[in-house]
Structures are given as C-alpha cells and as structure tokens.
Amino acid sequence: MKYQFKSMITGLGFSVPDKVLTNADLEKIVDTSDQWIVERTGMRERRIGEQGVLTSDLCSDAARKAMDEAKIDPGDLDVIIVGTVTGDVQFPSTACYIQDNLNAVNAAAFDISAACSGFLYGLTIADNFIASGKYKNILVIGGEMLSRITDYEDRRTCVLFGDGAGAAILQPSDGTRGIVKTFMKSDGHLADLLYMPGGGSKHPASNETVEKRLHYIKMAGQEVFKAAVKSMGDAASQMLKDTKTTTKELDLLIPHQANIRIIDATARRIRLPKEKVFINVDRYGNTSAASIPIAMAEARDMGRLKHDDLCLLVSFGGGFTFSAVLFKY
Ligand code: ACO
C-alpha cells in the first residue's frame, strides 16, 4: 500500500446556530453592499448564535453527532481537544465544559489557541497521541462564537465572521485508511496583523479597553490576505510533494473557508480543478477553527466526501499559524 496509517476518522458532526445573518442584514448595519461582500469574499450569509448560546453548547452538539457515528460512549473518550479563540470564559478551557456536558468522565480535556488552524493542530496532536499507543479514542473539535468578538461597527471585519462547531472522533486505524501525514507551522512575527488586543495581560479588561473597542477582532485585511494565499498554497503543495501524491490522486480539497479568492488561489497553486474543492464559505462565512470540521461533516453528508476518498485539509489563521493534513477517509 502507498500510505501507512496510525489513526483514522470514525465519526464527524457539526452544529451551527439557526439564526442567519445575510448580506442584506449587514447592509442595514454598516456601509456595505451585497455586491462588495460577494465579489471580495464569496460570502452570502453566516450563522449567529442567539444570546445565551455558548461555544461549548455548539461543540457538545457537534461532538454527540460524531460520537454517535463512531458508536462510542462519552465514558470511552480518552482525550478531548478543542481549537477555539472564543471559549466560554478566559479560563478554564472550553474543553473542560464540554467534558462536563458530555459526561466524559475518563477524558483529559484541553484547548488549543491556533485561531483558524486550531482544528488541524488538534488533529495533528490526536494522530500522534494515537500513534504513541497511549490513547485510543480522541475527540477533536473546532468551535467558535466569533460574533461575540466581532465589531459590528467595523465594516472591514464584521461581514466576514460567523459561529459554529465541527467535531471528529479519531481512533486507531484499521490499516486500510486514516491520516497519511500532518504538517503545522507558525510565524509569530506577524501576530499583530490579526488579533484581539483586549482582555489579556497586555491590556487587561478596563473601562478604557472597552471604550477603545479592544475586545474585538482587529485585522490588517490585505496583509492577512497575502500571507494566507502564500502559506496555504505552500502547505498544500509541500504536503503533496512530501507524500508523493499527485493532484490526480486527490479526491477532495477542504480548505479553511476564509475567502473564496484565497480558496481559489490555493486550488490553482496545486492545479486542482474546481470540482474537487469543497466550498461553503457562501453560507457560513469564516468560522475560524470550526470552518474545516463543519466543511468535512457537510461534505460527507452531501456525498462529496466518501469512504476511501483521499482528502487534503489546509488552514491558515491568526498567529500566524498554518497547517495541512492528508487523509484517506
Ligand atoms: N463593504 C464595502 N466596502 C468595504 C468593506 C465592506 N464590508 N470593507 C472594506 N471596504 C472598502 C475599504 O474601506 C476600501 O475602501 P477605500 O479604497 O476607499 O479605502 C476598499 O473596500 C478596499 O479595501 P481592502 O481592504 O483593500 O479590500 P480587499 O480586497 O483586501 O478585501 C478582505 C478585504 C475581504 C478583508 C480581504 O483583505 C481578505 O479576505 N483578507 C483576509 C481575511 C482573512 O482571511 N482573515 C481571516 C484569517 S483566518 C483567522 O484567523 C480568523
């Protein structure tokens, strides 16, 4: 066999709020237009959590669906890993709240802060945990309530983000399918191009930080765009090279859903035809760490991701962080 596997995905699930925020809704809030948003981002609508709905609620819902498919009980879970930058509280980890919601009493639970790459960083850790032989059942989640840190007075950012969660169960491979290879990297030099300044040790919460709107996402859009195009393209092509995989062998590319132009550029870079690229940025916007697991579960539900398909995941996010995972589903 061409590839060797240590772990495989045995369950997928996703959860998004019912409330839809359309481009027409945004036209009433800020000086923008449906045409501008569609042309520049490919987005038409995104989901927004109602007041009182928590990141851990969406994550727990997605996790239950993934566990149902994998046919495992919460008590079987060894580890819960959650990629998020919008946890329920600053600490403890949202993973611990999810553990409690699920009654996964035997699990160790922790969060990863890698912005949009959080889910792929989580998959990388889980794959290596399983390869070590120490753990057998790992729940990896990407979940965000970005609407809670989005400034709806800033048209440059508020049109981009949405809420949601996606989850995967990883178990030891049966030898025929699973994760082929993972890659992750960061560039902390560019950290302040995309960040939330308020609420940490640099600018602890105060009346002043609230007045200066520091508890919202700040982004240098064009610089982020350029870095995203380069690093996602690099990560995708390097992964194909390292695994001696041709574009023809690849069945599906599921990229982080940040912007249709970034997705198109990534596909062009590896010369992949559009039919092999999964896109749902039009319906959910950018859900950061949740975007790839939501897309995986939706692609599976739509019959776009089938058993034995070879699928490439690639992400880019604040930090900057970037990551790629190749797997046979
Ligand atoms: N509606 C109308 N006009 C707008 C809007 C809007 N919503 N937003 C910005 N504009 C205006 C700007 O003010 C500017 O006007 P000006 O020329 O008069 O100054 C003009 O449109 C062009 O602005 P740019 O920022 O140059 O637009 P650009 O083509 O770069 O698109 C965008 C902006 C969509 C944000 C793009 O830069 C992008 O997608 N960047 C990457 C974002 C991203 O992926 N972020 C997430 C990374 S993942 C994570 O970790 C969360």
Asked about 286 being catalytic, the answer comes back as yes
For atom 33 of ligand 1, the residue with the nearest CA is 221
User: Could you tell me the CA-to-CA distances from 48 to 11, 53, 132, 161, 301 in Å, in that order?
Assistant: 25, 10, 39, 9, 22
Continuous segment of H or E residues that includes residue 80: strand 79-83
CB-ligand 1 contact for 317 (6 Å cutoff):
yes
Task: Exactly one of 96, 116, 158, 311 is catalytic; name it.
Answer: 116
Asked about 203 being catalytic, the answer comes back as no
Model pLDDT, residue 1: 77
**In which residue ranges of the chain is pLDDT below 50?**
none
For atom 47 of ligand 1, the residue with the nearest CA is 317
What is the three-class DSSP state of 82?
Answer: strand
Distance between CA 221 and CA 105 in Å, rounded? Answer: 42
CB-ligand 1 contact for 231 (6 Å cutoff):
no
CA of 157 to the centre of ligand 1 (A): 7
Ordered by start, the domain boundaries in the chain are: 7-176, 180-328
User: What values do phi and psi take at 327, rounded to 5?
Assistant: -145, 155
For atom 26 of ligand 1, the residue with the nearest CA is 222
Class of domain 180-328: alpha beta
Place of tokens 């640099």: 202
First to last CA, the chain: 15
7-176 folds as Peroxisomal Thiolase; Chain A, domain 1 (3.40.47)
User: Could you tell me the CA-to-CA distances from 232 to 184, 226, 264, 328 in Å, in that order?
Assistant: 11, 10, 11, 20
Handedness of CA 302, 2, 324, 5 (dihedral sign): positive
Asked about 116 being catalytic, the answer comes back as yes
DSSP result, 135-198 = -S-EEEEEEEEGGGG--TT-HHHHTTB-EEEEEEEEEE--SSSEEEEEEEEE-GGGGGGEE--T
Cα 89–90–93 angle (5° rounding)?
A: 75
The answer to whether 228 touches 244, Cβ cutoff 8 Å, is no
Ligand 1 pocket mutation, candidates 27, 259, 320, criterion most atoms within 8 A of CB: 259
Residue from 301, 317, 326 nearest 144 by CA: 317
pLDDT in tens, 59-72: 999 999 999 999 99
CA of 263 to the centre of ligand 1 (A): 16
> For 74, which DSSP code?
G
Q: Which residues contact 319 (CB under 8 A, 6 or more apart)?
A: 114, 115, 117, 186, 187, 188, 190, 191, 194
User: Is there a common fold for 7-176 and 180-328?
Assistant: yes
Cα 72–74–75 angle (5° rounding)?
A: 100
